[in-house]
A and B are shown apart, each in its own frame.
Chain A
Amino acid sequence: MEPEDVEPGDAIHPGRPVVVDRYRGAARINHWVTATCLILLAISGLSLFHPSLFFLTALFGGGQVTRAIHPWIGVVLFFSFAGLFFRFWRANLPTRTDAVWLSQASDLLAGHEERMPEVGKYNAGQKFIFWSMTVLILILIASGLLIWEQYFTWVTTIPQNRVLVLTHSLAAVVIICVWIIHVYAAFWVRGTLRAMVKGNVTGGWAWRHHRRWLRELVSVRKVSP
């Protein structure tokens, strides 16, 4: 078994229960900055997407401020997510197990996780979230910059601008859906949120959901007494 997806900072603390470090402080801060940006972008973006949600611009101080601030939050998100990308990409590379896991995903959703293959630090669902976010954020930042009225609309023609704004809104819809799946999964699989809040999980959580990662950690002796 190759320790392909043990990330820096992952470690086991024996005890009752066993505690496993999953995310270091920097990764957690990086994640929550990104999360905050994504939520603010979704709210400000939706407020300009549909008239029924225009009232949400009041949260930012009005339509003008929302229009001005949305692209800047996008820029912050881009760099923040880039940080997450470079932290997590290696452990999110697809493996042979992912195909098996995906083919049995219905068992998992039906509440039979014991039938699933053992997975490493991330299962195929989490990898799907990671790569979807990556691709969608690239689409959103590229189209978003080009429709940024204040600075960049002159770069493209008006017909191109129309396609870009449609692309931007559709990609935004998809990323909101992906985000809902991400949040729901973290809520459904109890004990997950703590990995991003406190930075660790219980041994039982790791055994149940990421047994291969736990075994790898044990095998490379990432155990601190």
Chain B
Amino acid sequence: MAPIHTAQTNPPVQSVPPQFSEKDLIRRSASTVPPPAQQLEEVAKLIDVSKCIGCKACQAACIEWNDTHPVIETNVGSYVNPHDLTPDMFTLMRFTEWDNPKTGNLEWLIRKDGCMHCADPGCLKACPAPGAIVQYSNGIVDFVHENCIGCGYCVKGCPFNIPRISKVDHTAYKCTLCSDRVAVGQGPACAKACPTHAISFGTKDDMNKLAESRITDLKSRGYDNAGLYDPPGVGGTHVMYVLHHADQPEIYSNLPRDPKISPVVQAWKGLAKYVGFAAIGIAAAAGLLHSTLVGPNRVTREDEDNAERLVRDET
């Protein structure tokens, strides 16, 4: 496989055949896939929150690349705009003004929200439509719109509150990690556009190394709790954060401390199916068995005579 270009490098000028395809799926919603012949190198996007200046170039690049048209909204009291992720806004800068109790400093925390591309994706687990959500062996979780039925189960499955259902075509939308760009050796549009290199893209190994050097740097500057956000509860993610306060992820616009697929979703997608089918099967089998063993309950001639006598005598 050709080397994955990080976002900063320019793409090759000659045309490149796609580097991954349906053959590289490791999971497909509501269906199974044969194990892929090769394991792709895992990719990751690393978002260094400490380097982000909140310029929203990533949002603009995302809109441009994906050709979405978010509506012009009104001010919601902070720099966040639009007010939330929408079917037309796959990534969103979330701004928090945080009063650091230790230093007394007001810190402006800016987190680029969007799909985390979980190794164990809750959206995919919840999805009832075969092939509407797929996961490639490089870690990218993608929505396939022609298979999506718009039920919103992915919204319930996601531990990060990411998918949004379009009111226009009734299908689910989220960050694709620019799977179309990555397939031809380019980095995601947001990473490409980021002027401070707060967003990097490459192999997950490389991103881990980059994160390590950044964390060492941050620690040397007094951020003792700097660390990497790659939550193990969802098997790790393919979008990771470097946080200066990794001990308190919640302060970054409620980034979950220990995200995992909700046990309710697990029960709904696991036990409930088996218990449900068993119950229905037992009810049907009981009827069949009873019918065979006891036979029909028929009205006899005597019953008819009794009824006729009763009606005759009383009237």
Contact = CB atoms under 8 A, between A and B. Distances in A.
Interface stretch (B11-19, B47-55, B286-294): B286-294
Interface in B239-297: 262, 264-265, 267-268, 272-273, 275-277, 279-280, 283-284, 287, 290-291, 294-297
Interface size bucket, B side? 35 or more
Contact of A163 (B170, B264, B314): B264
B156 interface: yes
B283 A181 contact: yes
Given A17-B307, A49-B128, A158-B155, A166 B267 contact: yes
Given A162-B262, A190-B299, A218-B315, A202 B307 contact: yes
A188 B276 contact: no
A4 interface: no
Contacts of A147: 152, 156
Contacts of A75: none
A218 B156 contact: no
B183 to A, nearest CB: 26
A184 B155 CA distance: 39
Interface residues of A, number: 60
Nearest to B158: A158
Interface of A (DSSP majority class): helix
Interface in A205-225: 205-208, 214-215, 218-219, 221, 223
A30 to B, nearest CB: 25
A205 B303 contact: yes
A204 interface: yes
Contact of A158 (B161, B165, B303, B314): B161
Given A165-B156, A173-B279, A223-B315, A204 B149 contact: no
Contacts of B315: 14, 218, 221, 223
A33 interface: no
Contacts of A173: 272, 275-276, 279-280
Given A173-B279, A205-B299, A208-B299, A63 B129 contact: yes
Interface in B30-54: 30-31
Nearest to A217: B311
B304 A17 contact: yes
Contacts of B275: 173
A159 B130 CA distance: 24
B300 interface: yes
Given A111-B297, A207-B307, A169 B276 contact: yes
A188 B272 contact: no
Interface stretch (A64-72, A81-89, A119-127, A132-140): A64-72
A150 B267 CA distance: 24
A184 B156 contact: no
Contacts of A202: 299, 304, 307
Contact of B306 (A67, A110, A204): A204
B283 A214 contact: no
B150 interface: yes
Interface of A: 12, 14, 16-18, 48-51, 54, 57, 62-64, 66-68, 109-111, 113, 147, 149-150, 153, 158-159, 161-163, 165-166, 169-170, 172-174, 176-177, 180-181, 184, 187-191, 202-208, 214-215, 218-219, 221, 223
Interface of B: 30-31, 128-130, 147, 149-153, 155-156, 158, 161, 165, 167, 170, 262, 264-265, 267-268, 272-273, 275-277, 279-280, 283-284, 287, 290-291, 294-301, 303-308, 310-312, 314-315
Nearest 6 interchain pairs by C-beta: A203-B307, A204-B304, A63-B149, A149-B152, A204-B303, A51-B30
